[in-house]
């Protein structure tokens, strides 16, 4: 079976080193197996992800030499490749889950969901305790606000073996709780959209940062409910700033806007690959040249701090 990898960035700002490492790893992992790469723009939150940011991102990826076989400007039948244009597919998946009787409206406010008394998981996310699952039809009818929609999850352990991080499991009810499928403003949730899209686009291998490892059991549960074949999952450690924080779009010195002004694309990729363990030195190399030495076994499993000055001129 042909390997189909993908990049699925959210264009909420200019891409940074963490996003670039993600695209580079997805690209190398698929290309090394002779596979192809799909690019999907995860712009469900259209207010935060305006189209002009996506256009800059396409240009940045091209500048980096990370090409795609299918995606914006290369539609081979499973497009559109902007999630904001794929709502009919999410609607259809939601309908299937409704038919199974697993979807219910949730009227909880943000303040109620994030109250200090609510249980939280280790990554800080609140665990939904099922308040609205227990509402009667009459109680629902009395509510005055538009509801979000949640998926009722079973008290079951869901585990899988990650292609890089090894075995991971969690109990859907206890560690996560009933999760959102659609927000009260109508925006579909990442968990639903990512599953629908990866399946529809024939993705066989999902490469992404370990911050999404804990989303995977929820996604596997959705694959099962929707009768879709799940891809292989490969999570890699996160890049941290020199002072140990997770990179964000606010770290200007890690953003491509700043980096493009002082380094070539090969310098950026070579240094990232050095941090990722698959370039013996920080020597400048193109994505194609990095294919020769790429090996998941060399990539660390612990988060990676970017040494001060590594991406200086």
Site residues (vs ligand GLU, CB under 6 A): 8-10, 42, 194, 208, 212
Spatial separation of the C-alpha atoms in residues 233 and 25, rounded to whole Å = 13
**Minimal distance, residue 231 CB to ligand GLU, in Å:** 10
- List 143, 229, 249, 285, catalytic entry: 249
**Minimal distance, residue 177 CB to ligand GLU, in Å:** 20
Nearer to ligand GLU, 25 or 106 (CB): 25
Which positions ≥6 away from 122 have C-beta within 8 Å?
Answer: none
Four-point Cα dihedral 201, 202, 208, 213, nearest 10: 110
What is the number of alpha carbons within 13 Å of residue 65 lying toward its C-beta? 16
CA angle 181, 182, 185 (to 5 degrees): 165
Spatial separation of the C-alpha atoms in residues 159 and 230, rounded to whole Å = 13
What is the number of alpha carbons within 13 Å of residue 28 lying toward its C-beta? 27
Active site residue 33: no
- Tokens read off for 161: 């073996």
Catalytically active residues, by annotation? 249
């Amino acid at each position: 079976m042909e390997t189909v990898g993908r990049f699925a960035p959210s264009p909420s700002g200019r891409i940074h080193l963490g996003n670039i490492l993600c695209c580079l790893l997805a690209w190398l992992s698929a290309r090394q197996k002779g596979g192809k790469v799909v690019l999907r723009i995860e712009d469900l939150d259209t207010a935060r992800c305006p189209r002009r940011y996506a256009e800059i991102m396409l240009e940045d990826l091209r500048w980096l030499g990370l090409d795609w076989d299918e995606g914006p400007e290369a539609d081979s039948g499973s497009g559109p490749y902007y999630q904001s244009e794929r709502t009919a597919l999410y609607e259809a998946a939601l309908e299937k889950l409704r038919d199974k009787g697993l979807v219910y409206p949730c009227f909880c406010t943000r303040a109620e969901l994030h109250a200090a008394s609510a249980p939280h998981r280790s990554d800080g996310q609140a665990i939904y305790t099922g308040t609205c699952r227990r509402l009667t039809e009459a109680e629902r009818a009395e509510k005055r606000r538009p509801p979000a929609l949640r998926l009722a999850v079973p008290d079951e352990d869901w585990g899988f073996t990650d292609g890089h991080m090894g075995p991971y499991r969690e109990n859907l009810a206890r560690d996560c709780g009933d999760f959102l499928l659609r927000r009260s403003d109508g925006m579909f949730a990442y968990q639903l959209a990512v599953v629908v899209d990866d399946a529809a686009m024939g993705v066989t291998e999902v490469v992404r940062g370990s911050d999404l490892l804990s989303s995977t059991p929820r996604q596997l549960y959705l694959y099962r409910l929707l009768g879709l074949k799940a891809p292989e999952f490969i999570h890699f450690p996160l890049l941290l700033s020199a002072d140990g924080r997770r990179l964000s779009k606010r770290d200007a010195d890690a953003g491509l806007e700043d980096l493009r002004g002082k380094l070539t694309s090969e310098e950026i990729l070579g240094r990232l690959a050095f941090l990722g363990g698959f370039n013996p030195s920080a020597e400048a190399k193109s994505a194609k040249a990095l294919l020769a030495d790429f090996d998941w076994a060399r990539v660390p499993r612990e988060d990676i701090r970017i040494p001060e000055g590594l991406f200086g001129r």
